[in-house]
Amino acid sequence: MAKKTVPYKIYLSEDEMPKVWYNLKAAMNKQHPPFLNPATLQPCTADDLRPVFCDDCIEQELNCKDLLIEIPEEIRGFYKMYRPSPLVRAYCLEKALGTPAEIYYKFEGNNTSGSHKLNSAAAQAYYAKKQGLKSITTETGAGQWGTALSMAAAYFGLDLTVYMVKVSSEQKPYRKEVMRTYGATVIPSPSDTTAAGRKILAEFPGTGGSLGCAISEAVEKAVTSDSCRYVLGSVLDHVVLHQSVIGQECKIAMEKYGIEPDIIIGCCGGGSNFGGLIAPFMGDKIAGKNNIDFIGVEPASCPSMTRGRYAYDFCDSAKTTPLAKMYTLGCGFMPSANHAGGLRYHGMSPIVSELYHDGYMRAVAVEQSKVFEAAEYFARTEGILPAPESSHAIRTAIDEALKCKETGEKKTILFGLTGTGYFDLSAYKAYNDGTMADTIPTDADLAKGFASIPDIPQNK
């Protein structure tokens, strides 16, 4: 298709918005190994998952056949409140860099939750409502996911209980207020509302909590009630599916203007945003229709793909979840306390892991001082204060654009800008003050993490 003049921002019209999610698994030649029940080491069945997750989400989790899955009209109605998100041509950044490359980014931060998380929160809340449930529950660390879910729960009329890591709820009291404004009940974790919480409190009376503990409390609340289910914001296949709305919008917008990306870049924590961004483009690559260079960017402080192992591991640090085959640093791995850039998850989405393992994409790890340098540069040239997570993708996009400047190549680069930096200003403060250190784990640090990977036959 002939290329048209591209505006600063491409917004799809409502008619052009995607009506289907792209189920990347159905396009893959090889499926990731199934989740395992940690007690039996047998593949998890839908029945295993039913006390925890909503039925429709389980069906999507296990669906490897249907390439396109309809987005229910109710969810599309919710999406219309804050989508389409703009696909931005980074004219100002290109000019500042003096690169012949064309740079585009898909900005997911223009909604009150501040990130892409809302795409799956909306879907999961809807399916809970559809199933006739009264309430949902989840955990949150920094609060981004909890905020997104509180917005979705308010919209669909569900009660929501968020277990928020206690130290976060104390350090980020305002995140809690957003959730409360949307009607969520926010409980600092560990709490005395669950057996798991009471046990931790008895053992460690002064603890500030952990994500693992908050997950345990939320899952307990879900499995001990018929009318409540647990909702997760990343890693799982159905979350990647919901996030494919990002890639679907990108593809429609780019085709409309005849833009063909050479490189697609996304930051990788749990992998759902990256998986969603690349989904339809990767499906085409697997079918031999393009040769896009897909780059997942992770922090050098938490390098699950570039330095991790491909093994079965727990999804949580408390070792309560099913085992997933994924790139992992070990469920006991903790990034250095100096690490301020987010993307702290020890593992990686099984879908993204399989793609990486099979050579369909590459991964790079970047140091946080370089990430914040890119964030500041981007803020000043493009006018958006990016989330530290998203700034990993910015860093790599700038690096690729500068390579083009050297070689004179006019590549087309697309990256995902997943969120805003409004709620990460303590990290920006450290950068502005010059007190931010790079924190790369030593081989000994990694070995300690690897020791927490379960020693099961499947990992031999």
Q: Which residues bind a second copy (CB under 8 A)?
A: 7-9, 11, 13-14, 78, 80-82, 92, 110-112, 151, 154-155, 173-174, 177-178, 180-183, 375-376, 379-385, 420, 422-423, 425-426, 428-429, 431-432
Instruction: Please report how close the Cβ of residue 420 comes to a second copy at its closest, in angstroms.
Output: 7
Instruction: Please report how close the Cβ of residue 350 comes to a second copy at its closest, in angstroms.
Output: 31
- 457 in Cβ contact with 319 (< 8 Å): no
Instruction: Please report how close the Cβ of residue 145 comes to a second copy at its closest, in angstroms.
Output: 16
Instruction: Please report how close the Cβ of residue 96 comes to a second copy at its closest, in angstroms.
Output: 10
Instruction: Please report how close the Cβ of residue 150 comes to a second copy at its closest, in angstroms.
Output: 9
Instruction: Please report how close the Cβ of residue 113 comes to a second copy at its closest, in angstroms.
Output: 9
Instruction: Please report how close the Cβ of residue 29 comes to a second copy at its closest, in angstroms.
Output: 39
Nearer to a second copy, 80 or 199 (CB): 80
Instruction: Please report how close the Cβ of residue 72 comes to a second copy at its closest, in angstroms.
Output: 17
5: Cβ–Cβ under 8 A, 6 or more apart, which residues? none
Nearer to a second copy, 86 or 308 (CB): 86
d(CA 185, CA 164): 10
- Token pair in block for residue 292: 């896009």
Find tokens 């919209």 and name the residue: 155
Nearer to a second copy, 310 or 377 (CB): 377
Nearer to a second copy, 58 or 151 (CB): 151
Q: In 350-410, which ranges are E strands?
A: 362-366
Nearer to a second copy, 111 or 161 (CB): 111
Q: Which amino acid is at 291?
A: N
178, 345, 346, 423 from 167: Cα distances, Å: 17, 18, 20, 15
Nearer to a second copy, 58 or 88 (CB): 88
* Dihedral angle over CA of 246, 23, 413, 16, nearest 10: -50
d(CA 112, CA 158): 19
Instruction: Please report how close the Cβ of residue 174 comes to a second copy at its closest, in angstroms.
Output: 4
Q: What is the DSSP letter of 232?
A: -
User: Cis omega before residue 190 (within 30°)?
Assistant: yes
Task: Using alpha carbons, select from 292, 298, 325, 323 the residue that is nearest to residue 310.
Answer: 325
Nearer to a second copy, 316 or 382 (CB): 382
Q: How many helices (H) and strands (E) does the chain have?
A: 18, 15
Find tokens 């680069």 and name the residue: 413
323: Cβ–Cβ under 8 A, 6 or more apart, which residues? 35, 36, 37, 38, 41, 312, 313, 314, 315, 454, 456, 458
Instruction: Please report how close the Cβ of residue 245 comes to a second copy at its closest, in angstroms.
Output: 16
- 314 in Cβ contact with 455 (< 8 Å): no
Instruction: Please report how close the Cβ of residue 381 comes to a second copy at its closest, in angstroms.
Output: 8
d(CA 374, CA 391): 7
Nearer to a second copy, 148 or 324 (CB): 148
111: Cβ–Cβ under 8 A, 6 or more apart, which residues? 81, 82, 118, 151
Nearer to a second copy, 67 or 96 (CB): 96
- 407 in Cβ contact with 438 (< 8 Å): no
User: Cis omega before residue 84 (within 30°)?
Assistant: yes
Q: What is the DSSP letter of 420?
A: B
Find tokens 């990992």 and name the residue: 459
Nearer to a second copy, 131 or 181 (CB): 181
Nearer to a second copy, 12 or 128 (CB): 12
